[in-house]
Structure 1
Amino acid sequence: MTDFLVQHQTLLRFGAFAGLLVMFSLLEALFERKARSAKRLQRWPGAFGLFVVGGVVSRLLVAGITVGAAGWASAHHVGLLNWAQPLAPLFAWMIAIVALDLAIWAQHLAMHAVPVLWRLHRVHHSDIDIDAMTAIRFHPIEIVLSLLYKAAIIAALGAPVGAVILYEITLNAMALFNHANLRLPPWLDRLLRAFIVTPDFHRVHHSVEMAETNSNYGNLLSFWDRLFGQYRAEPKAGHARMTIGLEAFRDRHDLLALMIQPFKNALR
């Protein structure tokens, strides 16, 4: 399993991401949850531009750092899971994936709580609609910092290489899913959100109301927010009437505006 994931990780990552991005974008047209406030052409080019720039910058600066950290930890017998040997591989993978998800949840909370980090992360939150393309709208500096943080956690944890690759593929897939502007049957949303983050669950987090923005930080597993008291079931205005985005950034969504946004003065 590990050998397969390592040998084919580029194809698996790109194939899953590209395929799901197209699939969710098409499904949004058929099962739209919330009416759009702007045309796609006003928002999508800037988001895609950030995705390209972020990909280039991360490859130049920190290419393969997460899988590399896992390989280094294994080779040097570093990290909690390596010290706790012998562990059944499946058990080690499960612990690693759950622990990584908690670490990413904590990082997300910090991106909102620390002012200098919020300046970067608000690029993501300034999207005035939320759909699958919002999942790729991250500032390149945030992407690099996130990869460095994740690599440090992976090394400290001693996460298996295969578990890291599987988690990253799953996390990217879930980001596309929970940002998608999809209308799920209420019974299905209730069932899924007991375990994972659904589109309705995450949409609350993109509300213009800061009390709602500062909630529902989950990425993959939904129970972290309940456990740490950060969960909101629904937006106060309801999903159909809620306003998405940030009050201070509602006009420009081109690549240049998004790149310089962290350096602009705005309270939120």
Structure 2
Amino acid sequence: MLDFISDHEPAIRLSFFLGTIFAVGLWEILAPKRRKSVSTLWRWTNNFAVTFINTFLLRILFPLLAVGVAAIAADNGWGLLNLVEMPIALSIIIGVVALDFVIYWQHVVSHRVPFLWRFHKMHHADVDYDLSTGARFHPVEIVLSMLLKLGAVLALGPSVVAVIIFEIALSSITMFNHANAGLPSAIDAVIRRFIVTPDMHRVHHSVIRSEHDSNFGFNLPWWDYLFGTYTAAPSKGHSGMTIGLNEYQADRKQSMFWMLALPFRRG
């Protein structure tokens, strides 16, 4: 099974990506949480166009992505997890959780360092909130994130399978928790103990600064609980809250070119 996952990594990742878009997109159609203010077709076209650019750019700049680096680290015994004997299942769990911990802190820092915020704010400038928001990141941020991820893989030494599982989870759960949908409150209360839910992460996209500087987790919610960055719900409720950033509320029809130029605008 583990060999199958390693040998078919691109096909598995693509299947999960497309399957998540279909499943979450259907959920949004059947049970939308909020009324949209911009055409879904327009937003999806531009948000996913940026995703295509990011994927193309990574393939050009990085001959070896995180999975390839994990394989090299394993062959050479690099990284903490390659120095310790442990059951494969435990190694995979530790690897996935450790990488998620790194991404949590990357997200926190991207809000607190002005240079990084200039690029990350493209993700927050979306005036609506749906699964395409979870795929909307500036190419510069994606490149910096990949450099951090490669460094983390070399330092930690997670297995190839752990990296594949983490990458799939990061892509799929990020689209899930950006869904314009919600779970029944009783179910949400249970699930958000283990996975970041749409109602939990939507708080992070509030125009209110104290709210968008909370709930940084993409996959696991535990880091927000541990480090005091958790906010249970938006102060104005999920229907009454304003999504995005105050300074870009007038820019409703955000094109791909507008998004790419955003970090370089004054202000």
Please, what TM-score do these two structures have when normalized by structure 1? 0.96
Q: Aligned residue for 1:231? A: 230
Do residues 83 (structure 1) and 83 (structure 2) align? yes
Q: Aligned residue for 1:199? A: 198
Q: Aligned residue for 2:141? A: 142
Q: Aligned residue for 1:66? A: 66
Letter in 2 for 1:46: N
Q: CA deviation at 1:262?
A: 0.7
CA distance in 2 between counterparts of 1:255 and 1:238 reads 30
RMSD, matched Cα: 1.1
CA distance in 1 between counterparts of 2:64 and 2:136 reads 21
Q: Aligned residue for 2:254? A: 253
| Contact 1:204/1:212 (8 A) holds in 2 | yes
Q: CA deviation at 1:257?
A: 0.4
SS in 1 for 2:86: coil
CA distance in 1 between counterparts of 2:41 and 2:255 reads 10
Q: Aligned residue for 1:213? A: 212
Instruction: Deviation per CA, 1:185-213: give whole Å up to 9, x if none.
Output: 11110010111100000000000111100
Unaligned runs of 5+ in 1: none
Q: Aligned residue for 1:53? A: 53
Do residues 98 (structure 1) and 97 (structure 2) align? yes
Q: CA deviation at 1:235?
A: 0.4
Q: How does 1:105-144 map to 2 (within 5 A)?
A: 105-144=104-143
SS in 1 for 2:237: coil
CA distance in 2 between counterparts of 1:140 and 1:63 reads 17
SS in 1 for 2:247: coil
| Contact 1:2/1:161 (8 A) holds in 2 | no
Instruction: Deviation per CA, 1:26-82: give whole Å up to 9, x if none.
Output: 210111111212221342222011011111111100144201221121111111111
CA distance in 2 between counterparts of 1:110 and 1:129 reads 24
CA distance in 1 between counterparts of 2:126 and 2:259 reads 10
Instruction: Deviation per CA, 1:122-155: give whole Å up to 9, x if none.
Output: 1111000110111111111111111111111011
| Contact 1:126/1:249 (8 A) holds in 2 | yes
Compared with structure 1, are the counterparts of its residues 247 and 63 closer, same or farther at alpha carbon in structure 2 (3 Å cutoff)?
Answer: farther
Q: CA deviation at 1:2?
A: 2.9
Q: CA deviation at 1:223?
A: 1.1
SS in 1 for 2:246: coil
Letter in 2 for 1:253: Q
| Contact 1:43/1:253 (8 A) holds in 2 | yes
| Contact 1:6/1:162 (8 A) holds in 2 | yes
Letter in 2 for 1:77: G
Q: Aligned residue for 1:265? A: 266
Residue correspondences, number: 265
Compared with structure 1, are the counterparts of its residues 51 and 229 closer, same or farther at alpha carbon in structure 2 (3 Å cutoff)?
Answer: same
| Contact 1:62/1:144 (8 A) holds in 2 | no
CA distance in 1 between counterparts of 2:262 and 2:206 reads 19
CA distance in 2 between counterparts of 1:164 and 1:207 reads 31
Moved more, 3-12 or 201-210: 3-12
CA distance in 1 between counterparts of 2:26 and 2:36 reads 15
Compared with structure 1, are the counterparts of its residues 236 and 150 closer, same or farther at alpha carbon in structure 2 (3 Å cutoff)?
Answer: same
Q: Aligned residue for 1:12? A: 12
SS in 2 for 1:248: helix
Unaligned runs of 5+ in 2: none
Do residues 155 (structure 1) and 165 (structure 2) align? no
Letter in 2 for 1:257: W
Letter in 1 for 2:207: V
